[in-house]
Amino acid sequence: MRTNPTYIAALVTIVAMATGAPAPLAAQDSSAEYTAPYQRKALEIYRTIVGIRSAEGQGRVPEVARYLADQFRQGGFPAEDVHVLPFTKGNGEESAGLVVRYRGDGSSGEKPILLLGHMDVVDALAKDWERDPFTLVEENGYFFGRGSSDDKMGVTMLTTTFLRLKAEGFVPTRDLIIAFTGDEETGMISAREMVTTHRDLTDAEFALNADGGGGAMDPDGKPILYVVQASEKTYATFELTVTNPGGHSSTPRTDNAIYELATALKNIEAYRFPVMVNDVTRAYLRAMSKVVPGEVGEAMAALADDPADAHAAEVLWHEPEEVGITRTTCVATMLRAGHAENALPQSATATVNCRIFPGVTVADVRSTLDSVAAVPGLRIETLDDPKASPASPVRTDIMDAVAEAVHARFSGVSVIPAQASYGTDGKEIRAGGIPTYGVAGLFMRDKDQFAHGLNERVEVRNFFAGLDHWKILVTRLAGRPATD
């Protein structure tokens, strides 16, 4: 997960200069300033689950699921609506998902809304960190800890929102369903099972993902814009291998495996997948063209109007943060070859990672790589089980609800749809036929982006602001609260 997408963060400074930005936020807060019962409960949940090392190999995701299930039952949710779902990861490790249903009165006549987050984290080693990564530490206006942003904040936001609304007597006009997964960082098997094996528990009109989208701030803490993640590219990795009998290095062959693999990689490097747009990327390009100055902004507008505009495509090809919005990309990331310095290589293998535009199949990309590489005998293997997912339609009701939540904090901040080049559980949910929207309640500065890295952190004020973000979203899309 990246709550503040890389390509948005890279544009923050120029957008701020082009548009002017709202006034800076007040001085950093302390958690002691937030005394409402739901705020204290949120902090209790946050501290507890950050303290559980739910990383691969630790076997502790079920512990998170059981703890949260207890919170829901204690908060008034019937036991029959709280489901801890065991599953086995690809490496044989036992894990779990959690599904909780908040029953509505059905007055809207609409299908449920699914709310997504993930309980697992990328592992962290205490020896590398300045603080214990699995103890929530508050310091200088920040909460530090592994998962503090990715995605135990999201899990805390959704859990607290359900508990808060239940305590207030809120009865939604449609069912609300939380689905917390257990392996977003390592395989997304649990997300896939949520919409297949357990579809009876999770079927919904659409999903809101706490692990995608979010707000961008400039270096001074000024809010710049907010993106709704409505699409994700498919993550697919291929291994390209050339083999031959090899031999002694003193008697070179004309079919050296390393040279042939190098030829294949150079051919792939030179190839550009065709430019593509969908409703999400077209809306993104049009919105950004209004605030990004110069040639890049002009190219965005031109490409939104005409995907065949070669000049616009060429301009964005040279913008690393933008090229992924315009087409499928494949890049070599790893190499291994040979077995001795005085022997001809018997094999040479390259890893090529692709981020595939929605609507393009993994099989088509593999076929294209084979054709473009143009090396006889090249073997291409697809690693793991990549799954393509479609873009979600840009829905006015969702965009309006997000805008209301954002503008309650920052009036006038632009809210735009966007496509992510990275992956979340959302792609599995979309592939299962449920449109999914990343609508995290977190605004962040680029300098605070430490998800998956050392000293992961979230500003205290933005943590607590996220609670109101989610309450507004849920009550706007599923009725209004009985009490405020």
Closest CA to 398 of 339, 351, 432, 438: 438
Q: Are 121 and 54 in contact (CB under 8 A)?
A: yes
Mean pLDDT of the chain: 92
CB neighbour list of residue 357: distance below 8 Å, 6 or more residues apart: 233, 273, 276, 327, 328
Q: How far is CA 214 from CA 92, 157, 158, 284, 482, in A?
A: 34, 13, 15, 14, 28
Q: Which residues pair with 216 in a beta bridge?
A: 225, 444
Q: Is the pLDDT of residue 132 over 60?
A: yes
pLDDT tier, 452 (very low <50, low <70, confident <90, very high otherwise): low
Quick one: average pLDDT of 134-147?
95
Q: Is the pLDDT of residue 209 over 60?
A: yes
pLDDT tier, 454 (very low <50, low <70, confident <90, very high otherwise): confident
Rounded CA separation 345/354 (Å): 26
pLDDT of residue 226: 96
Quick one: average pLDDT of 5-27?
47
Q: Is the pLDDT of residue 288 over 60?
A: yes
pLDDT tier, 10 (very low <50, low <70, confident <90, very high otherwise): very low
Q: Are 181 and 425 in contact (CB under 8 A)?
A: yes
Quick one: average pLDDT of 1-23?
46
Q: Is the pLDDT of residue 324 over 60?
A: yes
pLDDT of residue 91: 85
Rounded CA separation 204/331 (Å): 36
Task: Identify the residue with better confidence: 22 or 455.
Answer: 455
pLDDT tier, 470 (very low <50, low <70, confident <90, very high otherwise): very high
pLDDT of residue 7: 45
The superfamily CATH assigns to domain 6-232+390-477 is Zn peptidases (3.40.630.10)
pLDDT of residue 187: 85
Quick one: average pLDDT of 7-13?
48
Quick one: average pLDDT of 96-125?
96
pLDDT of residue 40: 98
Q: Where are the domains of the chain?
A: 6-232+390-477, 234-382
pLDDT of residue 422: 81
pLDDT in tens, 361-371: 999 999 999 99
pLDDT in tens, 244-280: 999 999 999 999 999 999 999 999 999 999 999 999 9
Closest CA to 98 of 174, 5, 154, 180: 180
Q: Are 49 and 152 in contact (CB under 8 A)?
A: yes
Rounded CA separation 423/430 (Å): 12
Q: pLDDT above 90 covers what percent of the chain?
A: 83
Q: Is the pLDDT of residue 33 over 60?
A: yes
pLDDT tier, 429 (very low <50, low <70, confident <90, very high otherwise): very high
pLDDT in tens, 367-424: 999 999 999 999 999 998 888 889 999 999 999 999 999 999 999 999 999 999 888 9
pLDDT of residue 116: 98
Rounded CA separation 93/88 (Å): 6
What architecture is the 234-382 domain classified under in CATH? 2-Layer Sandwich (3.30)
Task: Identify the residue with better confidence: 16 or 129.
Answer: 129
pLDDT of residue 436: 98
pLDDT of residue 289: 93
